[in-house]
Chains A and B, each alone.
Chain A
Amino acid sequence: MSTKYSKIAAFTATFAAAALLLSACGGQPTGGGDGDSLSGPVTSDGSSTVAPLAEAAADQFRSVEAGINVTVATSGTGGGFKTFCAGETDISNASRPIKDEEAAECAANGIEFTEIVIANDGLAVVINSANDWAEDLTVEQLNTIWAPESEGVITNWNQVDPSFPDVPLALFGAGTDSGTFDYFTGAINGEEGAIRADYSPSEDDNITVQGVAGEPGGIGFFGLSYVEENADLIKAVTVNGVYPTVETVQDGTYTPLGRPLFIYVANTSYTDKPQVKAFVDYFVENAESIAEAALFVPLTPEQISTAAEELASLG
């Protein structure tokens, strides 16, 4: 009967049309513009702290070179290095320097890289905006709150200091793959990776913000840019009397939690893939404006010239 076949034909035609439409849509957007435009993927992975900076760079870069696909994943600094040293990513974002074991693994897999300092960061300790008793904390108090020995023991703010009110502690922070985690534990607890296990970890700093903002007794830690982004929900504390700002981070007075942020570029990706070269060049050359747009602490003048040298050594 013709009606049956016409129905089948109609369905097949619809599917085929949809498929054709998709392949048309899947093409590059808004044309190539001026003749010799680049295209191709640039993959980056790593720190959740550095990710907003990389995303801002990718954003701005797209207006310059529309055909290049930049992806930014956030598996944490450690996770990013694992994929980087396996040759799966072009750029690794890191909120701490590469460890010896990680560098050895890269070397074992033949991955040569160049380390570029791309911005500065103050690792901020944050509390809920309604918290008015803990606005100034010392490193010793932070250690009391976060040390491994405090697991299950220190559960209330008044245990940290008797003058604090009776409010339960709610701890949030970066997860174990995070460079922020390594840096914080190293600086506050004296040993990288040493921390009490009964806090809410996440590789995504946005979750930490939500957690601290939701609990009156909340306390967490992440990069300074997240503080500025969420100033209405949480606030940073002074550490040993110093409040984290662009100035105190750049001149080194915000210690021990001031730190540089890195991108690690795979040398072969840079030399072999023109789209990677274009992106990295853009990122480094415009590091200052990108950092300001993303609410990061920009590089000091000496850092800028060092970065330019590193970039030159790559090409």
Chain B
Amino acid sequence: MRTIGSAITGSIRGEHPIAGGGNGERRPAALIFLVLLWLSLLVAIGVLITLIVTIIVEGQGQFSWRLFTEYPASSPDRAGARPAILGSAWVIATTAVMTIPLGIAAAVHLEEFADKKNWFNRFVELNVQNLAAVPSIVYGLLALAFLSMLGVRDKNIVIGGALALSLLILPVIIIATREALRSVPSEIRQGSLALGATQWQTVWRQVLPSAVPGIATGSILALSRALGEAAPLLVLGALVFVSFDPNGILSGYTTLPIQIFNWTGRPQEGFHQLAAATSVLLLVLLVVMNGLAIFIRNKFQKRW
């Protein structure tokens, strides 16, 4: 691994394949510009490191098994995040079951079967892109209205949260799946059709299996985003003192981000430490999930 020093001198000397090099790179303005660029990178990464260090330092007093096994309590010395951990697991699992098949199906339709020049299908594409950028709290309002319309009284149930999160990450899964489907070369499809397969058989037996790594990567990344969301669940009334394990999709629940929010809002320092420790736990979970996604992509991705 080359050193940082060689990276810096490389930037000045211009070992980048395109352009650069020569006396012009050592003029003061150019050097200052380079310093500014390095600075912006360092500031961004520095803030990230500060954030991680701060929460580890603040939460270190609370890293114990109690975090995993105990329930929230009125005193920080006895409190733990067990319902939040299980609640997050329940909600993410339910979300995955609801949204991944739907997202893959929609992407397959849009990519393989729909006539792309049709104005309606282009509208659907535009719609999906727009939905991916809608604020997450609006999805909470949507789920709230939908559940109210169905007459559901207590909206703080696993299926309610899963509904909001599913709709939130559906566009992301559709976009990622479409990218994965696009990366499969058309020769594969043509070969399959030439051998007499129908379009669906081609998709099901040739295209989808080849696209599975990309789809899996995209889905895991989308689910990791859902894991970190709190705003839509707040609107559904998730901020409740929950002292039990969730036990069904109609059960009450809380999630890790909601628990962090709850504890952050309390004035006692002990709860802030708990919030920090839980944040570390959440970050570790996310790193594991993202690492898994990247591992799948690197290991199984086909080079055509």
Q: Could you tell me which A residues sit within 8 Å of B by CB distance?
A: 1, 4-5, 7-8, 11, 15, 18-19, 22, 25-29, 41, 43, 51-52, 54-56, 58-59, 62, 68-74, 86, 88, 204, 206-207, 209-210, 213, 229-230, 233, 294
Q: How large is the interface on B (under 10, 10 to 19, 20 to 34, 35 or more residues)?
A: 35 or more
Which residues of the partner chain B approach A18 to less than 8 Å between Cβ atoms?
Answer: 93
Which residues of the partner chain A approach B179 to less than 8 Å between Cβ atoms?
Answer: none
Q: Is B241 an interface residue (CB 8 A)?
A: yes
Please tell me if the beta carbons of A69 and B244 are within 8 angstroms of each other in the complex. yes
Which residues of the partner chain A approach B48 to less than 8 Å between Cβ atoms?
Answer: none
Which among B153, B244, B246 has the greatest number of chain A C-beta atoms within 10 A?
B244
Please tell me if the beta carbons of A62 and B267 are within 8 angstroms of each other in the complex. no
In the bound assembly, the distance between CA atoms of A69 and B90 in angstroms comes to 17
Which residues of the partner chain B approach A1 to less than 8 Å between Cβ atoms?
Answer: 209
Please tell me if the beta carbons of A206 and B73 are within 8 angstroms of each other in the complex. no
- Please encode chain B, from 75 to 95, with 1 for each CB lying within 8 Å of some chain A CB and 0 for all others: 000100000001001100100
Please tell me if the beta carbons of B241 and A71 are within 8 angstroms of each other in the complex. yes
- If the complex has contacts A209-B267, A233-B267, are A25 and B240 also in contact, measured as CB distance less than 8 A? no
Q: Is B237 an interface residue (CB 8 A)?
A: yes
Shortest C-beta distance, B116 to chain A (Å), equals 27
Shortest C-beta distance, A207 to chain B (Å), equals 6
In the bound assembly, the distance between CA atoms of A71 and B74 in angstroms comes to 13
Please tell me if the beta carbons of B268 and A22 are within 8 angstroms of each other in the complex. no
Please tell me if the beta carbons of A11 and B73 are within 8 angstroms of each other in the complex. no
Please tell me if the beta carbons of B252 and A71 are within 8 angstroms of each other in the complex. yes
- Name 15 interchain pairs, CB-CB below 8 A, sorted by A: A7-B300, A25-B245, A26-B86, A26-B247, A28-B247, A52-B74, A55-B72, A58-B241, A58-B243, A59-B73, A68-B244, A69-B252, A71-B241, A206-B265, A206-B266
In the bound assembly, the distance between CA atoms of A209 and B269 in angstroms comes to 12
Shortest C-beta distance, A49 to chain B (Å), equals 13
Please tell me if the beta carbons of A62 and B245 are within 8 angstroms of each other in the complex. no
> A295's closest neighbor in chain B, by CB?
B74
Q: Is B15 an interface residue (CB 8 A)?
A: no
Please tell me if the beta carbons of A8 and B245 are within 8 angstroms of each other in the complex. no
Please tell me if the beta carbons of B153 and A26 are within 8 angstroms of each other in the complex. no
In the bound assembly, the distance between CA atoms of A4 and B300 in angstroms comes to 10
Which residues of the partner chain A approach B237 to less than 8 Å between Cβ atoms?
Answer: 73
Q: Is B276 an interface residue (CB 8 A)?
A: no
Q: Is B154 an interface residue (CB 8 A)?
A: yes
Q: Is the interface of B mostly helix, strand, loop or mixed?
A: loop
Q: Is B234 an interface residue (CB 8 A)?
A: no
Point out the residue from B90, B241, B244, B268 that lies within 8 Å of A55, measured CB to CB.
B241
Which residues of the partner chain B approach A88 to less than 8 Å between Cβ atoms?
Answer: 153-154
Which residues of the partner chain B approach A11 to less than 8 Å between Cβ atoms?
Answer: 212, 216
Q: Is B63 an interface residue (CB 8 A)?
A: no
Which residues of the partner chain A approach B93 to less than 8 Å between Cβ atoms?
Answer: 18-19, 22
In the bound assembly, the distance between CA atoms of A175 and B93 in angstroms comes to 36
Shortest C-beta distance, A116 to chain B (Å), equals 20
Which residues of the partner chain A approach B239 to less than 8 Å between Cβ atoms?
Answer: 73-74
Please tell me if the beta carbons of A56 and B71 are within 8 angstroms of each other in the complex. no
Point out the residue from B96, B153, B247 that lies within 8 Å of A86, measured CB to CB.
B153
Which residues of the partner chain B approach A4 to less than 8 Å between Cβ atoms?
Answer: 209-210, 212
Q: Is B137 an interface residue (CB 8 A)?
A: no
Please tell me if the beta carbons of A55 and B210 are within 8 angstroms of each other in the complex. no
Which residues of the partner chain B approach A22 to less than 8 Å between Cβ atoms?
Answer: 86, 89-90, 93
Q: Is B248 an interface residue (CB 8 A)?
A: yes
In the bound assembly, the distance between CA atoms of A59 and B73 in angstroms comes to 6
In the bound assembly, the distance between CA atoms of A213 and B266 in angstroms comes to 12
> A67's closest neighbor in chain B, by CB?
B244
Please tell me if the beta carbons of A206 and B243 are within 8 angstroms of each other in the complex. no
Q: Is B281 an interface residue (CB 8 A)?
A: no
In the bound assembly, the distance between CA atoms of A11 and B268 in angstroms comes to 44
Which residues of the partner chain B approach A74 to less than 8 Å between Cβ atoms?
Answer: 239, 241
In the bound assembly, the distance between CA atoms of A68 and B241 in angstroms comes to 14
Please tell me if the beta carbons of A26 and B252 are within 8 angstroms of each other in the complex. no
Please tell me if the beta carbons of B71 and A62 are within 8 angstroms of each other in the complex. yes
Point out the residue from A26, A27, A43, A213 that lies within 8 Å of B90, measured CB to CB.
A26
Point out the residue from A26, A207, A294 that lies within 8 Å of B248, measured CB to CB.
A26
> A203's closest neighbor in chain B, by CB?
B239
Please tell me if the beta carbons of A25 and B86 are within 8 angstroms of each other in the complex. yes
Shortest C-beta distance, B150 to chain A (Å), equals 15
In the bound assembly, the distance between CA atoms of A41 and B93 in angstroms comes to 23
Please tell me if the beta carbons of A25 and B71 are within 8 angstroms of each other in the complex. no
Which among A41, A43, A69, A233 has the greatest number of chain B C-beta atoms within 10 A?
A69
Shortest C-beta distance, B153 to chain A (Å), equals 5
In the bound assembly, the distance between CA atoms of A230 and B76 in angstroms comes to 13
